[in-house]
Amino acid sequence: MKKIIISAVAKNGVIGRSNGKIPWHSKEEFQHFKNTTLGFPALMGRLTFGTLGKPLKGRLNIVITRNNKLSYDFTDLKIFNSLHSACSFCEKQNYDKIFIIGGAKIYGQAIKIADEMIISEMDFETDGDVFFPEIDENVWKIKTREKKDGFEVLFYVRENIEN
């Protein structure tokens, strides 16, 4: 099962604001996200899910939180207390791939275990206080690039690191 990080990132690394808002609106980038993730599990932190307010349609939504008492009244949503347990569940369900969709804390954990990343690099810098983790060029290599209107999609693969 491939673990794939997907995110839109401004040139200065900003992915959002602590109030839960994304500091830009790009219809084409949103469509890219939807088309890419549709039909596959979307793993996210509690704060990210809170900004959505409801599950993304056409995907199993998985919320990762340390709050054992958290519950939602949605059928297409599961809650796990760690990224590891969420990934194990998806592995047992025989998914070909899963998408890790944020936020910053989840990206920070996932970048250590992900197989691929799909990063929409926006064509601008913006104000914000939530950042994507640093991408180590010794670990991640750009496989392909796709230029879009207002952003470029970078497809990263993890380098095979020999011990």
How would DSSP label each residue in 48-87?
HHHHH-SPPTTS-EEEE-S-TT---S-TTEEEESSHHHHH
Domain boundaries, the chain: 2-158
97-100: strand order across its sheet: 77-80, 61-64, 42-45, 97-100, 2-9, 116-122, 151-158, 140-148
Above pLDDT 90, what percent of the chain? 87
Closest CA to 111 of 130, 137, 93, 91: 137
Tell me the mean pLDDT in the region 26-38.
Answer: 97
- 101 has a pLDDT exceeding 60: yes
Q: Cα(50)–Cα(43) distance, rounded to whole angstroms?
A: 13
Predicted confidence at residue 130, as pLDDT, reads 96
| Count of helix runs (H) and strand runs (E) in the chain | 4, 10
Q: Enumerate the H helices of the chain as residue ranges.
A: 27-37, 46-52, 83-92, 104-110
pLDDT confidence bin for 161, thresholds 50/70/90: low
What would the pLDDT profile of 37-70 be if each residue is shown by its tens digit?
A: 999 999 999 999 999 989 999 999 999 999 988 8
Q: Cα(111)–Cα(80) distance, rounded to whole angstroms?
A: 18
pLDDT confidence bin for 162, thresholds 50/70/90: low
Instruction: Give the up-direction half-sphere exposure of residue 61: CA atoms within 13 A in the CB hemisphere.
Output: 21
* Two structure tokens written together for 31: 């469509």
pLDDT confidence bin for 159, thresholds 50/70/90: confident
Tell me the mean pLDDT in the region 77-93.
Answer: 97
Predicted confidence at residue 33, as pLDDT, reads 98
- Plot region of 39 (φ>0 → left; ψ -120 to 50 → alpha; else → beta): left
Task: Please tell me whether the overall predicted TM-score, pTM, comes out greater than 0.85 for this model.
Answer: yes
Domain 2-158 has what CATH class?
alpha beta
pLDDT confidence bin for 21, thresholds 50/70/90: confident
- 163 has a pLDDT exceeding 70: no
Tell me the mean pLDDT in the region 85-91.
Answer: 98
